[in-house]
Structures are given as structure tokens and as C-alpha cells.
Structure 1
Amino acid sequence: MADLYKNKYRIASTRLPGWDYGWNAAYFVTICTKNRTHWFGRIVKTKDLNSQQMQLSEMGQIANRCWLEIPEHFPFVKLGNHVVMPNHVHGIIIIDKPDMDSVGAQNFAPLQNPYTITTPKNKFGPQSQNLASIVRGFKIGVTKNSRLINQNFAWQSRYHDHIIRNQRSFDNISQYIIDNPLKWKEDRFYTL
């Protein structure tokens, strides 16, 4: 929903109010290409014809490589499952800073009322060790290398995130990511 700010419309944030996205937790993210253009490849039937898999284009290989390199740029990050699809990327990013208290045994966010979460100390401070900086770094890496192939490559300006709350949710999301190529035509990001 759009709000007015300085007499201009802006889209309200989808981020959880009061949550510091630099906190140790597991996050499920979805990052889409601009206009959902199929830059990353296509879904093809496997030889047995009972299954489908993602066939990565050169840009898809870049996206996959950049995703796997995230922990090299952000040493406090661990990666869960991910998949590069024709027009988007799904993945689990686990922030695991050793100097922070873990929010759960597996870095799962506590189940609590979001309005009781304390306001982050660095609300307007450096944004270099949080989910947004990780996604931004990934998008920059893919964009820089993909534009060497096609100058028109672009991402959607925003991304979707979900704070993973428990092991059951983690397992369900992990399976969803694995199954994404199999269920491509049912996917909300599906386009021809």
C-alpha cells in the first residue's frame, strides 16, 4: 500500500517493525529480475520425462556462483538451500555473528510479538552487516557481470524476505526451494 511522504507516494516497507535485520537468524529471501524477465535460463524436462530441472544460462551461472560466494564477502553468513530460477532466486541466508547471542539453537527468530522487540541501536547507523547489505552485494555482483553479456539486465528494486521461526518452517522452506523447478508452472513468479 502506498503512503504519502513529502507529498509523494511511496510504498510502505514490508520489513518487520522493530526487527534488526542484522540479528542472528535464518532468512528466506526471494529476489526477482526486473519485469520478471527470464535472464537465468529455463526449466527443462529431464531424460526420464517425469521431472524438471533448471538449465542455467550464462547469467544463471553467474547468479549461482555469486550466491555461493556470499560467505566469502560476509564471513558471518551461512547458506541454506537456494535455487536460481528463470526470473528469480530463492535462498536461505543464515546470519551467524559469533559475537552476538544466538536467537535460538539453530538461529531461529523467537516467536514473540514484534512490538515488544527493542528498537535496534544502530537504526540509522552503518548498514554493512545486515540482510539488506548481503542482498545488495549479491545483486551488485550479478548485475556487474551480467551486464557484460547484456546491458539490459536489471533486478526488481525490492526483494521479499521471511524470518524463519523454527525447524519445521526451515524444513518446509528448504523443501519448497528444492521442489521449485518441479512446480514451475504453479509458481507465483511463473511467466512464459
Structure 2
Amino acid sequence: MMLSIRLKARFWLIILTKLKSKNMDLPKRKPTRLKGYDYSQNGAYFVTICTHNRKCLFSNIVGAIHESPENQLTQYGEFVKQIIEILSGRFNVVIPKYVIMPNHLHLIIEIDNDNEKRAIRESPLQYNRSVIDKLVGFLKMNVSKKMHSIYRDKIWQRSYHDHIIRGEKDYREIWEYIDTNVQRWEKDCFYNVERS
């Protein structure tokens, strides 16, 4: 038994040594956040969160080939909506615009650190993670808890995409993008017809 464990360990050591000698690094995830940027500072952010393998869980786009498609939330989509609606009070942010699509959601998140309620709710030790990270983690965790009793597969794609909104023009374009996301569903880069 002990010999078998030693042989396996030696085998993997040889493999890893060969990979390194051939300058073949193991795959690494590239960081998705802007290096050196403080995501806890005041500002507006465009955040996109996707489902695992872009599986359509949250809504159905009805009439997408017609001029006015309708976005009908599923039971899971209603869970997402419930959690989004409590985020503002919990994290001292404003979410003026969002859309829950079949396999992803977009949010505009405005951070206001000047609000005095934040200082009361959070200790200085909680500032090491950005507000956006905490908010996305809270949303994913709580939606997962609500869905877990009826949906057992993995729900979320790892991480999320963010964009720092820079200026009024950028803000208006993102607002318009969210507003028209349902109408553009079949041409969307996240488009997928696979249902849960």
C-alpha cells in the first residue's frame, strides 16, 4: 500500500518536472479586475453574471422573432429578482437598472461611500474585499440557497464581468444596452437555447 502511494507521488513529480522543463506551464486564469483599481470607491459599475455553461435558467424570451418580445421570469428568475431588490439596503449601493436574461444578468451598480449608514454596518476589517465582490458573492450564494431544494446542478459561472463606467456617455450607452437586451436576445453573445 505504502509503495503504491510512493509510486503515484513519484509519477506525478516526474510529469510536473517534464512539463516545467518543456516550459509548459499549467493553465492559469487571467485576472478579470483592473489591476490596482479600488472597486470600493464611489462610482458606477456595469456587472454581468452568467449561469454555468450559459444554461437558460432565469427567464424565457417569448416572441423574440417579433417586434416586441417579452421577458418572462422563471421561478429561478424570481429568486434572482428578490435578491437584487434587497442588495441596495444591504450594501449601501444603488441599482438603478438591471435585466435578468435567460442565462445571465446585467446590473448597473452605483457605490456611495459617503452614506453614513455604511460606517455603522461595516467594520474596517471588511474593506479588504470590494463592495462589488461582496455583492456578487451575496447574490450568488442566496440565489443558490433558494434554488438548491429544486435545482441540484451548478448554477453560476465562476467570477463575473465588470466594467467601470466612465462618464455620462458610457453610462447612457450601457443603460440603453440593458434596456434593449431582451429585443436583441437572439443576436446576443450570451444567446443559448439550452434549458435546464
TM-score by length of 2: 0.76
User: Is 1:23 aligned to residue 41 of structure 2?
Assistant: yes
**1:79 aligned residue:** 95
Amino acid of the residue matched to residue 159 of structure 1? Answer: Y
**Structure 2: how far apart are the matches of 1:50 and 1:23?**
40
Residue of structure 1 equivalent to 2:52: 34
Q: Secondary structure at the match of 1:172?
A: helix
Residue 72 of structure 1, CA deviation: 2.3
Q: Displacement, 1:129? A: 5.0
| Count of matched residue positions in the alignment of Structure 1 and Structure 2 | 162
| Residue in 2 that maps onto 1:176 | 177
Any runs of at least 4 consecutive aligned residues in structure 1 with deviations exceeding 4 A, and if so which?
Answer: none
In structure 2, C-alpha distance between the alignment counterparts of 1:186 and 1:11, rounded to whole Å: 28
Higher strand share: 1
CA contact (8 A) 2:47 2:163 kept: yes
Does the aligned pair in 1 maintain the 2:77–2:100 contact within 8 Å?
Answer: yes
Letter in structure 2 aligned against 1:150: Y
Taking the aligned partners of 1:82 and 1:186, their CA distance within structure 2 comes to 19
Q: Which runs of 5+ in 2 are unaligned?
A: 1-19, 117-123
User: What residue in structure 2 maps to residue 157 of structure 1?
Assistant: 158
Look up the match of 1:90: 106
Change over 3 Å in CA distance of 1:57–1:125 after alignment to 2 = closer
Q: Residue in 2 aligned with 1:110?
A: none
Q: Which residue of 2 aligns with 1:185?
A: 186
SS of aligned partner of 1:69? helix
Q: Deviations over 1:128-183 (max 9, x none)?
A: 55211111111111111011221224100110000000111111101110100000
Q: Distance in 2 between matches of 1:32 and 1:125?
A: 26
Q: Which runs of 5+ in 1 are unaligned?
A: 101-121
SS across alignment from 1:10: coil
Q: Does residue 163 of structure 2 align to residue 147 of structure 1?
A: no
> Radius of gyration: which is bigger?
2
Q: What is aligned with 2:27?
A: 9
Contact 2:38 2:130 in 1 (8 A): no
The alignment-based identity, stated in percent, is 36
Shift in Å, 1:83: 0.3
Structure with greater helix percent:
2
Q: CA RMSD in A?
A: 2.2
Alpha-carbon deviation of 1:43? 0.2
> How far is 1:80 from its partner?
2.1
